[in-house]
Chain A
Amino acid sequence: MMRASLPGSAMRSALYLILLVFSIFYLVPLYVMLVNSFKELDEIRSGAMLALPDNFTLAPWESAWSTAQIGVSPTGLKPYFINSIAMVIPAVLISTLIGAINGYVLSKWQFRGHRWVFGLLLFSCFIPFQIVLIPMAKTLGILGIAGSTPGLVLVHVVYGIGFSTLFFRNYYEAFPTELIRAAQLDGAGFFMIFARILLPSSGPIIVVCIIWQFTNIWNDFLFGASFTDFDSQPITVALNNLVSSSTGVKEYNVHFAGAILAALPTLIVYIVSGRYFVRGLMAGSVKG
């Protein structure tokens, strides 16, 4: 008995060891960012990147938040963090609302050609956004919202519709159509059925959609870099300016604090509702 179970237990130990090694691989960058954001610059330069801080300091965080040089002005990341919030909230809410109503139509009020419409919406999720940069810049200019937060909101709403429609359409597809027919016989109309029957049971998919859109839009860099001015840049663009600016001393500790600041909202969402986050990822890749 003992001999028979030995190879098994050796293998299990190896299994745990491998899993542990990989969890270190995934954690090290976060750990490095975190510990070094509390160190003084000299301490990082002396090659102790993995060590805990000797002289614990909050100065890098203060600097990253309110005094670090971003582009031409020493404002820290704060105004850009606020820009990102002002961009992400309307963009997420609008695209989720549109996605819900689209999904409702495409699953419960199918018409001739609905499959084509859905296919065209779906393909728009996957286009390389480089293809729209030039005409979008021109269009935003014509609309008079170039370089502004409303302009960026429009961009994110337009390119978020595909995914949000996909989420709701697949979710409502599984919803019993008989309930809707019954409500119709009772005289309920299109909007009434949506508001009274479908929406109340849409909680989970609304959460999934909001998390997905929030993560994508908050983390976006390409649109933010292409369609904003200095005073409307989102935090990802500001962080990149902070880290890649070639003038002066490289303040690694400030960069790390800034990176964590930029990551914090999506990390919190992930920690609080990881289950929904994973469901969104799955729904975005494995359809139906």
Chain B
Amino acid sequence: MSQKWWQQQLPKLVLSPSFALVLFFVYGFILYTGYLSFTDSRMFPSNELVGFANYEKLFALRHWKIAITNLGIFGGLYIGICLVLGLMLAIFLDQKIRGEGVLRPIYLYPMALSFIVTGTAWKWFLDPGIGVEQIVQSWGYTDFEFRWIKDRTMAIYCIVIAGVWQTSGFVMAMFLAGLRGIDGEIMKAARVDGASSVQLYRRIIIPMLRPIFLSAFVVLAHMAIKSYDLVIALTNGGPGRATELPATFMYSYTFTRNQMGVGATSAMVMLMTIAAIIVPYLYSELKGSKKS
């Protein structure tokens, strides 16, 4: 009898250390950061409660407004372009292309790289001194100018370019897997002839990929909000503060500007934004797996 009881308790016992770790290091830490966001912590954590003062302060900061606006521009374009490009490449690759086995890994390999590597490559490739501008000028177009990365209003688009380069192949792979999962008869009909196949894709096949759009959107949105390394490596938030994102804002306010309360507040805002996207998604995914 006690043997059986033991066998029933053992699994829970085995799981409990990881569960305890996650409870402490994830949920405990979230609570603690949440607590700090209501204190006047500066260089070190403080216990002086200040109500919502940090939240009011945060949303009044010009620096934060820049970060939020940039996240809107970056996130919108990054997600949008990755989805469109990923879908397009997947559909094209799915046309019985010769050499698909070569092309697919070429589209996808950037995903294996660190954002710091990606940032380094693009930083110098986009640099007016040695990169694209120089290259095109050396072809004889001496008036050619391309200095987005040094331009306050355009630098954020450089982050978009590098981000899309890194992730769009992954989105392509997701869509391709989706396309390959669609019933062969429908696909065969789609390939029959040119004009009508565009219609077939638009009316039938793309709508069937809805779950992939959702998954890809969730992954991309979550990556956009967390984006930190890419900005650090590519522009370090500059020129000026032109490419500051919430993640870089949080880091600099907490660790270099000694405004830990405001930093914690910005982290809470980031968490809540991600949670608003992820929680409903995970909930529906888990409910879905219950049925099957």
Contact yes or no, A131 B106, CB < 8 A? no
| A191-233 contact mask (Cβ, 8 Å, vs B): 1 or 0 | 0000000000000000000000001001111100010000000
Asked if A58 is at the interface of the complex by the 8 Å CB criterion, the answer is: no
> Interface-forming stretch among A65-73, A85-93, A120-128?
A120-128
Sorting the interface of chain B by its residue count into under 10, 10 to 19, 20 to 34 or 35 or more gives 35 or more
Contact yes or no, B97 A19, CB < 8 A? yes
Contact yes or no, A8 B194, CB < 8 A? yes
Main secondary structure on chain A at its contact with chain B?
Answer: helix
Residue of A nearest to B230 (CB): A221
Contact yes or no, B114 A236, CB < 8 A? yes
Contact yes or no, B25 A158, CB < 8 A? yes
Residue of B nearest to A284 (CB): B219
Known: A190-B14, A236-B114, A255-B124. A115 touches B45 (CB 8 A): no
**B 28-60 contacts with A by CB, 8 A:** 28-30, 32-33, 36, 45
Contact yes or no, A267 B113, CB < 8 A? yes
Number of A-B contacts (CB under 8 A): 270
Contact yes or no, A134 B22, CB < 8 A? no
Q: In the docked arrangement, what's the CA distance between A148 and B118, Å?
A: 26
**A 101-138 contacts with B by CB, 8 A:** 101-102, 105-106, 109, 111, 115, 117-124, 126-136, 138
Contacts of A282 in B (CB 8 A): 173-174, 177
Contact yes or no, B92 A111, CB < 8 A? no
Contact yes or no, A127 B165, CB < 8 A? no
Contacts of A55 in B (CB 8 A): none
Contact yes or no, B121 A30, CB < 8 A? yes
Asked if B189 is at the interface of the complex by the 8 Å CB criterion, the answer is: no
Contact yes or no, A123 B120, CB < 8 A? no
> Interface-forming stretch among B73-81, B148-156, B260-268?
B260-268
Q: In the docked arrangement, what's the CA distance between A235 and B15, Å?
A: 33
Contact yes or no, A269 B288, CB < 8 A? no
Q: In the docked arrangement, what's the CA distance between A287 and B288, Å?
A: 10
Contacts of B27 in A (CB 8 A): 120
Contact yes or no, B229 A221, CB < 8 A? yes
Contacts of A25 in B (CB 8 A): 165
Contact yes or no, A221 B215, CB < 8 A? no
Contact yes or no, A133 B229, CB < 8 A? no
Q: In the docked arrangement, what's the CA distance between A106 and B15, Å?
A: 8
Q: How far is the CB of A227 from chain B (nearest CB, A)?
A: 11
Asked if A179 is at the interface of the complex by the 8 Å CB criterion, the answer is: no
Contacts of A221 in B (CB 8 A): 114-116, 228-229, 232-233
Q: In the docked arrangement, what's the CA distance between A255 and B109, Å?
A: 20
Asked if B2 is at the interface of the complex by the 8 Å CB criterion, the answer is: no
Known: A23-B103, A240-B116. A281 touches B292 (CB 8 A): no
Residue of A nearest to B292 (CB): A288
Contacts of B228 in A (CB 8 A): 130, 221-222
Asked if B158 is at the interface of the complex by the 8 Å CB criterion, the answer is: no
Between A and B, 17 residue pairs with Cβ closer than 8 Å are: A11-B194, A15-B95, A48-B138, A105-B11, A120-B27, A127-B271, A189-B7, A221-B232, A221-B233, A236-B116, A240-B119, A240-B233, A243-B123, A277-B111, A278-B173, A282-B174, A286-B174
Chain A residues at the B interface, C-beta cutoff of 8 Å:
7-8, 11-12, 15-16, 18-19, 22-23, 25-30, 32-33, 36, 44-45, 47-50, 98, 101-102, 105-106, 109, 111, 115, 117-124, 126-136, 138-139, 158-159, 161-162, 165, 173, 189-190, 215, 218-222, 226, 236, 239-240, 243-244, 252, 255-256, 258-260, 262-263, 266-267, 269-271, 274, 277-278, 281-282, 285-288
Which 9 A-B pairs rank lowest in CB-CB distance, beginning with the nearest?
Answer: A109-B11, A219-B114, A47-B134, A270-B112, A29-B121, A221-B229, A135-B29, A130-B267, A124-B26
Other CB < 8 Å A-B pairs besides A48-B138, A128-B267, A281-B174, 17 of them?
Answer: A12-B95, A23-B107, A26-B169, A121-B18, A122-B286, A130-B247, A130-B251, A130-B267, A130-B270, A133-B267, A161-B21, A162-B22, A190-B7, A236-B116, A240-B116, A285-B218, A286-B174
